[in-house]
A and B are shown apart, each in its own frame.
Chain A
């Protein structure tokens, strides 16, 4: 009597009570498979699973499902991101069936960045579902074995039901406004049936801890696995850019000061990230970290190593 919902590596790591580690892999802006292979080499063995982004910041990239299948072939478990921006419920459900058939069993539900931020600003958007409704849809497919419309997931009347058994993830941003509503929105995701959460990258530890306190007050950490998001800072310029230009992100001045004072800024950025992981591990209810090293995947192994998170289970 397996109690596993999808049976993925990530789910097993959660289940065993290990502190989970995931990373992010952005597919190429071309059909170049080599880009994926290289990133897989850096990450394989150092993380439990890797998120494959879905045209993040609305820039056209290789499909997250196709890239995810390539990653899986090389022995690294993917978490497929699906946004609501580009596909309606017909396309999304169809993709979920396809992803599952290819062995991709972790799916992360996102609203998606607005197309204005990307390289096709004149396009139409979809947003047929929102991220919470997407969670609900995946849960219905997995647990009720039904499509959104209520039809059973089977090929014909006499055919067997073959539903996609997916571990359902979603994001949470503890730093956006209105702050008091952030934990409520997490609760809505939990009610919709999410299994794990990855947060927006954390720099402001005080605010994150305040948010986690609210999470614990509602008992949400017992119903969902919460992974804290981290993005190591490569340079002062990057830190300032994140602080000033990314909605819902505050990078405290003491990190900026440390980076500008350092001889080797990238090394300092990694040191900060490792310190953060160690602190996050101590927070009740934090079940792991999600390291988003944007185009810096090669430094992930040393971060994980220095944080004492190797070997992976």
Chain B
């Protein structure tokens, strides 16, 4: 999923200032799963903002809603009227959802309530970690299913560097596992350690961000 965390409240209250009618719009997909921008979080943010406005004598009508996804056009139909009537939309979707909402409702102010972080998985309740960097040319088959690009702080294809200590990465030994220790352990348990002796050639990064904004065109699907 795409993970995100809510922006600091001060930043949000400053951002929405001056709008008389605000729609806080949640997203029912990834950000619901990582508990940052689903229906529940919309409710909490709306209450907090109402309280803040009351304490600061700010008059603002706050409307709440959540749609299934903000990165697909069809789901916006259900809230079209609310969006059109609002001065601004405070979107609790990921960065893609915020942008898409703004594109569908051209001329409408759409503001981000979240900081979008990474493609990750739920490590355990309340902990999410990055797993993929969307490099566009997946090499997981060579590394026992652990991504060196996303999970090594230096994206080393021939790791580990000299900073790997007791399974932890030098960059933040408290919180970050050394991706290369994980790869080593996994390859060892798979009986594939010899594969790591091969030199991984210089990478082609052009399939990812370095090739410019990504676009997928499926001729067989395009209408």
Contact A133-B164, Cβ < 8 Å, known A114-B171, A177-B181, A181-B184? no
A200 to B171, alpha carbons, bound, how many Å?
18
Using Cβ atoms and an 8 Å threshold, which residues of chain A touch B156? 111, 127, 130
Contact partner, B158, options A133, A171, A247, Cβ 8 Å: A133
A247 touching B173, Cβ below 8 Å: yes
Using Cβ atoms and an 8 Å threshold, which residues of chain A touch B164? 176-178, 247-248
B158 touching A132, Cβ below 8 Å: yes
Interface residues contributed by chain B, number (CB under 8 Å): 31
Nearest B residue to A115, CB-CB: B171
| Centre residue among A114, A128, A172, A184 by max chain B CB count within 10 A | A114
Our count of residue pairs bridging A and B at CB distance below 8 angstroms stands at: 91
Interface status of B167 (Cβ within 8 A of chain A): yes
Nearest A residue to B163, CB-CB: A247
Interface status of A220 (Cβ within 8 A of chain B): no
B170 touching A114, Cβ below 8 Å: yes
Interface residues contributed by chain A, number (CB under 8 Å): 35
Contact partner, B153, options A114, A172, A184, A200, Cβ 8 Å: A114
A192 to B201, alpha carbons, bound, how many Å?
10
Interface status of B197 (Cβ within 8 A of chain A): yes
Using Cβ atoms and an 8 Å threshold, which residues of chain A touch B173? 247
A56 to B56, alpha carbons, bound, how many Å?
50
* Minimum C-beta distance from A229 to chain B (A): 11
Using Cβ atoms and an 8 Å threshold, which residues of chain A touch B205? 128
Interface status of B166 (Cβ within 8 A of chain A): yes
Contact with B along A80-92 (1 / 0, CB 8 A): 0000110001000
* Minimum C-beta distance from A91 to chain B (A): 14
| Centre residue among A84, A112, A129, A132 by max chain B CB count within 10 A | A132
B199 touching A136, Cβ below 8 Å: yes
Nearest B residue to A178, CB-CB: B184
4 A-B pairs besides A181-B160, A247-B162, A247-B163 with CB distance below 8 A are A112-B154, A130-B156, A136-B201, A176-B164
Q: List 12 A-B contacts (CB under 8 A).
A: A111-B161, A116-B172, A129-B202, A131-B161, A133-B157, A133-B158, A133-B199, A133-B201, A173-B162, A177-B165, A181-B160, A181-B184
> Which residues of B approach A to under 8 Å, CB–CB?
153-167, 170-173, 178, 181, 184-185, 196-197, 199-203, 205
3 closest Cβ contacts across the A-B interface? Answer: A173-B162, A132-B158, A247-B170
